[in-house]
Amino acid sequence: MKIFFDRKIYLLIVAVFVLLVIFIIGQSLKEKPAENKLNQNKGAIDSIAQESAQENAQVNEQDNQENLSAEKETADKNLIKVIRVIDGDTIEIEGGEKVRYIGIDTPETVDPRKPVQCFGVEASKKNKELVEGKMVRLENDITDRDKYNRLLRYIWVGDTFVNLELVKQGFAYSYTYPPDIKYQDQFVKAQQEAREAKRGLWSSCPAGQTEITLPPAESSAKDGCTIKGNISASGEKIYHLPGCGSYDKTKIDQGRGERWFCAESEAVSVGWRQALNCP
């Protein structure tokens, strides 16, 4: 009887164990699809996130391209092509307008009233090298056109300031005429350096041909710039107002760094003092 009872218990235990195993296996099978589904959902989320990141990157790239195109279009609007170099300081641009460089003067090569001047051909060649066929930016000062109806402009090719470059290398003189004096100090300094280094025309031309006839004082007075900034033999900077004792006999040599001023405060601000014989 005891044996039979033990056998029943044993079978019961086995049955429970089998049921437990079946239950565990069943739970495992249920959890596996859930885990697979979770992994699938996670993969789908990762895929969507990746696609979204790619779309955002494409949108940003498109925006950048549009911004660059807009900037280039704006820059291009400010550029114009030089179709012909007339001489060392005059060009013709698209549309047929002629442009005279502000602040400088080069030896003549095309003026029918004058012979070809020393270093004029070289200056024209250098100007061609710098600008002909290129896109340039034109910068204005105060006066828009000269008496020949030419545009008066400063010329830039990229970061190269063409007007200044010609003076620096000795192909042009500093020739600032009020009221267009924005870069006068740079031109005068560049000319002094070129002259001291004997660059270009400063070594190739006779002394008598390296001077420029400046406009008379009466011409400057029309522009309202009548104050004469003179540099004395000792290097002192002195300005003369109309009515000062030495005003009429004072001559301005821009090649020496002398200049015209439109206001007394302007002269004082850059280091000139008033002449002692002024009333």
Query: Is residue 159 helix, strand or coil?
Result: coil
Cβ(246)–Cβ(277) below 8 Å: yes
**Choice between 231 and 254, residue whose per-residue pLDDT is larger:** 231
- Catalytic pick from 108, 122, 165, 258? 108
Do 177 and 105 fall within a single domain? yes
The most confident of the ranges 64-73, 75-84, 122-131 is 122-131
- As a whole number of angstroms, the distance between CA 121 and CA 187 comes to 21
> Mean pLDDT, to the nearest integer, of 46-60?
69
**Choice between 74 and 258, residue whose per-residue pLDDT is larger:** 258
In a domain, 6, yes or no: no
Query: Is 153 one of the annotated active-site residues of the chain?
Result: no
- Res. 215: pLDDT tops 70: no
Final residue of a domain: which of 185, 210, 235?
210
> Mean pLDDT, to the nearest integer, of 190-217?
74
Burial class from Cβ neighbours inside 10 Å (0-12, 13-18, 19+) for residue 47 reads exposed
> Mean pLDDT, to the nearest integer, of 162-166?
98
Cβ(225)–Cβ(179) below 8 Å: yes
- Res. 211: pLDDT tops 50: no
> Mean pLDDT, to the nearest integer, of 32-57?
63
- Res. 34: pLDDT tops 60: no
Query: Is 266 one of the annotated active-site residues of the chain?
Result: no
Q: What is the pLDDT of residue 269?
A: 78
State the Cα torsion 174-177-179-184 to the nearest 10°. 10
pTM for the complete prediction?
Answer: 0.54
| Amino acid occupying residue 74 | T
- As a whole number of angstroms, the distance between CA 17 and CA 132 comes to 99
Burial letters 156-171, b for 16+ CB under 10 A, else e? bbeeebbbbbbbbbbb
Do 128 and 250 fall within a single domain? no
Q: What is the pLDDT of residue 167?
A: 97
In a domain, 203, yes or no: yes
Domains: count for the chain: 2
Q: What is the pLDDT of residue 160?
A: 97
Do 163 and 197 fall within a single domain? yes
In a domain, 61, yes or no: no
In a domain, 58, yes or no: no
Query: Is 7 one of the annotated active-site residues of the chain?
Result: no
Question: What rounded mean pLDDT belongs to the chain?
Answer: 81
In a domain, 29, yes or no: no
In a domain, 69, yes or no: no
Q: What is the pLDDT of residue 250?
A: 87
- Res. 152: pLDDT tops 60: yes
Cβ(128)–Cβ(121) below 8 Å: no
- Catalytic pick from 137, 145, 150, 199? 150
Residue 121: pLDDT band (50, 70, 90) is very high
Do 180 and 261 fall within a single domain? no
Nearest to 260 by CA among 233, 232, 225: 225
CATH number at residue 164: 2.40.50.90
Do 163 and 250 fall within a single domain? no
Do 237 and 152 fall within a single domain? no
CB atoms inside a 10 Å sphere around CB 27: 10
Do 98 and 205 fall within a single domain? yes
Do 186 and 92 fall within a single domain? yes
Residue 208: pLDDT band (50, 70, 90) is very low
Tokens describing residue 27: 């739970």
Q: What is the CA radius of gyration of the chain?
A: 42
Do 127 and 239 fall within a single domain? no
Final residue of a domain: which of 193, 210, 227?
210
Final residue of a domain: which of 210, 225, 240?
210
Tell me which residue range forms the domain holding 196: 78-210
> 264 — phi, psi (to 5°)?
-65, -40
Cβ(252)–Cβ(230) below 8 Å: yes
In a domain, 23, yes or no: no
Do 162 and 249 fall within a single domain? no
- As a whole number of angstroms, the distance between CA 123 and CA 106 comes to 7
Question: 99: alpha, beta or left, given left = phi > 0 and alpha = psi -120 to 50?
Answer: beta
In a domain, 247, yes or no: yes
